[in-house]
Amino acid sequence: MARSMWRGAISFGMVAIPVRMYLATEAHSAVSFRQLCPHCQLPIKQQRHCPTDDHVVAFNDVLKGYEVSKNQFVLIDEEDLDKLPLKTTRTIDIVEFVERNEVPLGLYIKSAYYLEPEEVGVKPFYLLKRALEDTNKVAVAKIALRDREHLSLIQVEGNTLLCNTLNWPDEIRSTEELNLPQNVKISDKEVSMATSLIDNLTDTFQPERYTDDYKAAFQQIVDQKMKGLKITAPTATQEPKVMDLMAALRASVEATKQGKKKPAEKPAARAAKVKVAAKTSAARPSAKRRTA
């Protein structure tokens, strides 16, 4: 059973709903490396040394310190952090409700957490879920997690509620830092061709159709090196070059049209259809029998 990473309550108005929080995502395909000694090629050890007398400090003995001035620290432990004068340390404090389509998730979204009601909070939890569904709204809230307070969003996700932590507005960089050209001329024909290409490639979002191929490709490299084989680089991608945009769009549209065509039936499928047709034909009375 999954282990909750946080316990507290959703709070709005005079309502408090006891909940548990669980990570909604997990990484599977990351490739990890060990740091090796260049001589014996075995893992090296990383140790923490005291700068005063150079003795090794065990990880469990390391203290947390907040620097208030040069080499002056205030010691902080987990109990101190639990006593922060913030109601969001044990509460998801809903500030307001907004229309679902008003939140620009692309820039703001960070992490995702499932919420599960405690036994005493089941009814108000699902009442909030139903109300969010009926009004098509999401809740903007604040919660303290991992040494900082987060802006967050609570929304319906399947049969539960999802809490997404968000970037604060001052954490989002401005596009003014980019070198973006102004007044780019685009013809109506180019727009029409581009929208045709988009239409041909449009489908329903089914994330299970997509796979992360990096780990499998990396494993091929590992296998080849273990066998002493020479590693060959893939064909280099050509550098971008000036092209005829309309010609490229037209070729792309034609290619996607071919992809949209109904795939040819497999021989087994055709044989099955012929067999069914034969049975149907045999079951029907002939014309001579009908006129007899």
DSSP string over 131-154: HHHHHTEEEEEEEEETTEEEEEEE
End-to-end distance of the chain based on CA atoms, in angstroms? 74
Report the C-alpha dihedral over residues 207, 208, 210, 211, rounded to 10 degrees.
130
Rg for the chain, CA atoms, rounded: 31
Q: Are 151 and 44 in contact (CB under 8 A)?
A: no
Sorted by where each begins, the domain ranges of the chain are 6-26+83-170
* Per-position b or e across 191-211, b if 16+ CB within 10 A of its CB: eebeebbeebeeeeeeeeeee
Q: Are 92 and 8 in contact (CB under 8 A)?
A: yes
- For residue 18, give every residue at least 6 positions away whose Cβ sits within 8 Å of its Cβ, in sequence order, or none: 7, 8, 9, 117, 118, 120, 121
Task: Kindly report, residue by residue over 179-195, the tens digit of the pLDDT.
Answer: 999 888 999 998 998 99
- What architecture (CATH level 2) is domain 6-26+83-170? Beta Barrel (2.40)
How far is the C-alpha of 59 from the C-alpha of 48, rounded, in Å? 8
The number of residues in the chain equals 292
Q: Is 112 exposed, middle or buried (0-12, 13-18, 19+ CB in 10 A)?
A: middle
Q: What is the pTM of this model?
A: 0.68
DSSP string over 202-260: -----GGG----HHHHHHHHHHHHHTTPPP-PPPPPPPP----HHHHHHHHHHHHHHHH
How much is the pLDDT for 29?
Answer: 63
CA 184 to chain centre: 33
How much is the pLDDT for 105?
Answer: 76
- Extract the residue ranges of the chain whose pLDDT is less than 70: 1, 29, 236-243, 259-292
Residue with tokens 């050209």: 181
How much is the pLDDT for 32?
Answer: 82
- For residue 64, give every residue at least 6 positions away whose Cβ sits within 8 Å of its Cβ, in sequence order, or none: 75, 76, 77
Tokens standing for 275? 């067999």
Task: Kindly report, residue by residue over 230-275, the tens digit of the pLDDT.
Answer: 887 777 656 555 567 778 878 888 888 876 654 444 444 444 444 4
Backbone angles phi, psi at 109, to 5 degrees: -65, 140
How much is the pLDDT for 23?
Answer: 92
Q: Are 24 and 6 in contact (CB under 8 A)?
A: no
Closest to 115 (Cα-Cα) out of 270, 255, 8: 8
How much is the pLDDT for 239?
Answer: 59
How far is the C-alpha of 58 from the C-alpha of 264, rounded, in Å? 66
